């Protein structure tokens, strides 16, 4: 049995390889592509397949559950920020978030949240404040956002942006604990 694999750049086929049961390849370049090394392109498309598998592993909803710690930013300020996520369905989560002043841990807010994994990202929304000691004269933002999961050197990260209509939006960066 022979299988055909094509490497594409946009809609254009730039390389074709034919695989037999023996696992041997016979690359046939597209004469219009001008490529001199179709085997190299074939290997790069295998790397793209490997990257796609890695993204699928990272997007697995089970990887989002657990405790996360890091930071949350607003223009001109950075806060300690933590999330604890519990999986409640195939791609749904509930949990809590805690925001704390870096210089004064007695200034804090604890929020309940819910979320779901969509296209490899956690879409979350804090639903209410369950405990708090906000900065004098201020209120906590009830945040929602989109956090993408990534991994490096055995560590797993959530990164993305958050917003609340009544607050200055910012960024979140968390590492799985």
- What pTM, to 2 d.p., does this model score? 0.67
Q: Residues 35-47, buried b or exposed e (16+ Cβ, 10 A)?
A: beebeebbeebee
How high is the pLDDT of residue 58? 52
Q: Are residues 54 and 73 in the same domain?
A: no
Question: Model confidence at 5, in pLDDT bands (50, 70, 90)?
Answer: very low
On the question of pLDDT at 126 being above 80, the answer is yes
Task: Determine whether 104 is exposed, middle or buried from the number of CB atoms within 10 Å of its CB (0-12, 13-18, 19+).
Answer: exposed
**What mean pLDDT comes out for the span 84-105?**
96
How high is the pLDDT of residue 174? 98
Q: Are residues 172 and 116 in the same domain?
A: yes
* Residue 93 near residue 85 (C-beta atoms within 8 A): yes
How high is the pLDDT of residue 157? 96
Q: Are residues 47 and 122 in the same domain?
A: no
Q: Are residues 19 and 82 in the same domain?
A: no
* Residue 147 near residue 174 (C-beta atoms within 8 A): yes
**What mean pLDDT comes out for the span 134-162?**
95
How high is the pLDDT of residue 59? 63
* CATH at 159: 2.40.128.120
Interval 116-125: pLDDT, tens: 999 989 999 9
Q: Are residues 105 and 155 in the same domain?
A: yes
Range list of β-strands (E), 12-119: 12-19, 25-29, 66-74, 77-87, 92-101, 108-118
For residue 22, the enclosing domain spans 3-58
Query: What DSSP designation does 164 have?
Result: -
Q: Number of structural domains, the chain?
A: 2
Interval 46-83: pLDDT, tens: 444 444 444 445 568 889 999 999 999 999 999 999 99
């Amino acid at each position: 049995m022979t299988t055909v694999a094509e490497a594409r750049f946009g809609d254009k086929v730039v390389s074709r390889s034919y695989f037999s049961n023996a696992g041997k390849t016979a690359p046939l370049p597209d004469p219009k592509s001008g490529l001199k090394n179709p085997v190299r392109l074939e290997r790069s498309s295998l790397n793209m397949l490997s990257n796609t598998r890695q993204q699928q592993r990272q997007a697995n909803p089970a990887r989002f559950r657990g405790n996360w710690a890091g930071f949350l930013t607003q223009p001109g300020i950075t806060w300690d920020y933590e999330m604890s996520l519990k999986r409640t369905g195939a791609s749904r989560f509930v949990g809590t978030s805690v925001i704390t002043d870096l210089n004064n841990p007695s200034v804090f807010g604890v929020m309940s949240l819910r979320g779901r994994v969509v296209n490899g990202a956690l879409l979350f929304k804090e639903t209410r404040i369950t405990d708090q000691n906000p900065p004098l004269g201020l209120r906590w933002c009830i945040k929602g956002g989109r956090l993408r999961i990534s991994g490096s050197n055995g560590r797993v990260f959530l990164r993305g942006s958050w917003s609340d209509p009544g607050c200055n939006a910012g960024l979140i960066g968390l590492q799985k604990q």
